Amino acid sequence: MDHFLSRDGELWAEDVPLSEIAAAVGTPVYVYSSATLLRHLSLFDEALHGMPHLVCFAVKALSNVAVLRLLGEAGAGMDVVSEGEYRRAVAAGVPGERIVFSGVGKTRAEMRAALTGGVRQFNLESEPEMRALSEVASSLGVTAPVAIRVNPDVDARTHAKIATGKSENKFGIPIAKAREAYREAASLPGLRVVGIDVHIGSQLTDLAPFEAAYRKVAELAGALRADGHAIERLDLGGGLGIPYTRSNEVPPLPSDYGEIIRRTVGPLGCEVVIEPGRLIAGNAGVLLSRVVYMKEGEGRDFLILDAAMNDLVRPAMYDAHHDIVPVREPEPGDLDRLYDVVGPRLRDGGTPSPAAAGCRRCARGDLVAFRSAGAYGAVMSSEYNSRPLVPEVLVQKDQFAVIRPRPSYEEMIAKDSIPAWL
């Protein structure tokens, strides 16, 4: 459920009409709903009720500092994969003891920054990384709390580009080699083993792969405890999918996911950390865009929008679908056609995005909203085609604020510099 609902024939974000935001900020623009973000966070809290737990928002899904502040103030921790994300979490006021540092390629500089600023734990992805962290922590005279990311070799049955839990993926240490890796971690100075980490992929719409993975983690926890390691925490990653289309089957609910966790790892008595990104942010955001032209083609009609692939890359990159809805509900007698929706450059070669059919009865100048665009939307936007970065707006009840302004053309161009010899 989200808080983008129709009222008086128009789509609103909470208590603000989207048309008001478009008039004030221009389009394209991302609009986020605070109530939806907080509701999704609380669903996970409720799902893990009665178990010691921390919900760490996966910052890579939506990294705006205002959003991190909102979630952090509601008690969320943060899962970060780079120093930039770590610094964003800190800038949002999230204490280090609630920040988990994940990611396959942590550099020594990044390790140093997190150890100095405070961190809950590092999720280690390889033996060389483990040795590097040992050296960095030792040189600083501190001890780094660590979990090792194990690869459970389960098929997450999601898009190949976002599946991470099969043995051929680059992520983590094969679960069969985990005991050896933990033995080394325990022997290295500057490291303290606190738990196990796993993350099998993103946009999973079936709970079976989670269950299979967490059973393996539970079994491993038992073996590692028998080997003498203090396994106090299980970091179970993110990955729960969301409905991208209203007509589709509803994916599993956080409460069902919580039941799987309770059933598989509950008896271990560990603190459970989860790292949802998409489920918290996805349906909490829309990309608001305006129809620039309506073009009649051979056998198909196009709506040409002011949002383009650089603003929302998911359809081109992941073959992703976003429902596109007119902000003003059509009136009887309005044009009634099915359009292919394209941005100025949604796809090279002019192929209409398969994601985008289904906007009925639009007119030039009308506003449309790409739904479910809150996660992996603004964070993956770029200036491709020299279109300034898309701005972001946060709504809370009847207020809204620009939380990242649209850069001017001058600001965009001023980032380049011409060498003295030219």
Ligand X SMILES: *Cc1c(COP(=O)(O)O)cnc(C)c1O
- Closer CB to ligand X, 151 or 289, in the complex: 151
What are φ and ψ of residue 251, in 5° steps? Answer: -70, 170
- Tell me the C-alpha distance between 102 and 285, whole Å: 25
Binding residues for substrate: 278, 314, 318, 376
- Closer CB to ligand X, 27 or 164, in the complex: 164
Total length of the chain: 422
Strands 392-396 and 367-370: unpaired
Helix (H, G, I), strand (E, B) or coil at 276: coil
Edge-to-edge strand ranges of the sheet holding 4-7 = 4-7, 10-13, 16-17
Please give the helix or strand (H or E) that residue 79 lies within, else none: strand 77-80
User: What Å distances lie between residue 341 and 198, 308, 318, CA to CA?
Assistant: 39, 10, 17
Binding residues for pyridoxal 5'-phosphate: 239, 275-278, 376
Q: Are 213 and 158 in contact (CB under 8 A)?
A: no
Instruction: Produce one character per residue of 52-70: b if its CB has 16 or more CB atoms within 10 Å, e if not.
Output: ebbbbbbbbbbbbbbbbbb
- Tell me the C-alpha distance between 33 and 14, whole Å: 7
Q: Which residues bind ligand X (CB under 6 A)?
A: 58, 60-61, 79, 102, 199, 202, 237-239, 275-279, 375
- Tell me the C-alpha distance between 256 and 262, whole Å: 10
